[in-house]
A = this chain, B = another copy of it.
Amino acid sequence: MDDPLSAAFSALADPTRRAILARLAKGEASVGELAAPFSISQPAISKHLKVLEQAGLISRGRMAQSRPCRLEAARLRDLAGWLETYRRFWEGSFDRLDAYLQDLQKGNPDDPRN
């Protein structure tokens, strides 16, 4: 019973699953289509899809024998929202580079670079 954020980040912490999402960004796909590019077994792909589904990152329908997967973007938006909190740190005047430059200007005597 992981919180949604943890589940989503955890699901994204795997290159195979990120590749699956990248594929789904081009449109719905069946499990077979998603499995094709990978050298791992079909059950392994099914497991990855289950992880993505439980993380709310994909959803699945039913079309004949196939279970088409589609991207569920809302959860990705949540992650982007979480990251927003930190945007000022990489954009504004709060990042390390900035601190470094400020230190240089001040000629901070405690700074090992001085």
List A residues at the B interface (Cβ < 8 Å): 3, 5-7, 9-10, 12-15, 18, 21-22, 25, 59, 70-74, 76-77, 79-80, 82-83, 85-87, 89-90, 94-96
- Give chain B residues whose Cβ lies under 8 Å from the Cβ of A7: 13
Q: Which secondary structure dominates where chain A touches chain B?
A: helix
A-B contact pairs, 6 of them (CB 8 A): A7-B13, A9-B12, A9-B13, A79-B79, A80-B83, A80-B90
Which of B9, B80, B82, B90 makes the CB contact (< 8 A) with A74?
Answer: B90
Q: Distance (Å) between the CB of A28 and the closest chain B CB?
A: 10
Chain B hits for A73, CB < 8 A:
86, 89-90, 94-96
